[in-house]
A = this chain, B = another copy of it.
Amino acid sequence: MGITIKQIAKKSGFGVGTVSRALSDDDVSVKAETRQKILAIAQKYGYVKNASAQALASKKSRDIGLVIPAYFKSPFYSDFYIKTIAGGIEQLSGFEKVKGYKLRILFLRDKNSFSELLQESQALKLGGLILTPYCRDFFIQESDIKKLEIPVVVLSQEIDGPNIRSVVLDDFKGGYDGTKFLIALGHRRIGVIRGFYEDIEERFGGYKQALNDYGISLREEYIMKGNALQDSGYDRTIKLLRLKDKPTAIFALDDEMAYGALEAIRTLGLRCPDDISVMGFDGIEISRFTTPALTTVVRPVEKMGKVAVRLLVDSDMWKKEKVIKVEGEVVARKSCMAIG
């Protein structure tokens, strides 16, 4: 049913080479007038490029693989991945340079998946790969990533390599802003629950800096080390609230621990935010549905997806810098209130 380049060539009177060049918009060696004519005919007959033929001839498809780890179904993280996809797709359709690029979801099942991934990238002649957070360690080693021969964008982690770019959150600033927000509400005794990933260090650094900038001294007993999961948030909060000079606010360095904190407060018969404020970090969607709704530093996941795609599709941007930082934002909901 569809018309082909050859037929356009015949109809327009130009050769197939010229038609092909006219139809690929980055090729400038075609007279504007010629391109005009060819485009008009293509338009008229509803020409659609055959993606397979294109990929075969150019030895490279216009597919971008978005890699998602197996446990992405977790209610905590599903919207995280969906938003990354959404951002990517939006970028794909919004940015004019990307004409014809498409997103493809690749799924990482277990530790052996990496070889499969390699194979798929090869079979599909992928134009690039996006690695969503938490792919590594569990499923892919950093060294594996460096082995990949196609352009790779890694989300939420900095990895160095000639064809690797990273898009990361400014964790330090997030930690700083969250703390500052609490301070602005009048809090002076602010407990913090850390996780164990590297990025958490940065967040914690922001916390310390903010305290320092506002002349509040760091108290060792307010610093708890969690393990990023809900239970540890619960546990550490109980400890914090048993202190004689207990904090008026708790900054959990990820949302999941913040849920634990909320639960702990309820268990102890206290009320949030009346008795104690809680701030989370991540901006997972279900934070909206906790009671009270969680105030949290949200990570702009959708934007990260956009940037990742853009990097793979826009060679100017690709060349510019190896690490791109995006900023989070404190979203005020119900779990924090002013005191004093």
Interface residues of A (CB under 8 A from B): 1-2, 48-56, 61, 72-73, 75, 78-79, 81-83, 85-86, 89, 93, 100, 102-105, 107, 109, 119-120, 122-125, 259, 285-286, 288-291, 302
Contact = CB atoms under 8 A, between A and B. Distances in A.
A61 B72 contact: no
A123 B79 contact: no
Contact of A48 (B56, B85, B123, B302): B123
Contacts of A302: 73
A93 B110 CA distance: 13
Contacts of A285: 75, 78, 286
A106 to B, nearest CB: 9
A105 B124 contact: no
Contact of A75 (B52, B79, B109): B79
A82 B83 contact: no
Contact of A79 (B49, B79, B85, B109): B79
Contacts of A102: 104, 120, 124
Nearest to A59: B52
A50 B123 contact: yes
A89 B48 CA distance: 28
10 contacts: A48-B119, A48-B122, A51-B124, A75-B79, A78-B83, A93-B109, A105-B105, A285-B286, A289-B289, A291-B291
Contacts of A50: 56, 123, 125
Contacts of A72: 82, 86
Contacts of A85: 105
A176 to B, nearest CB: 27
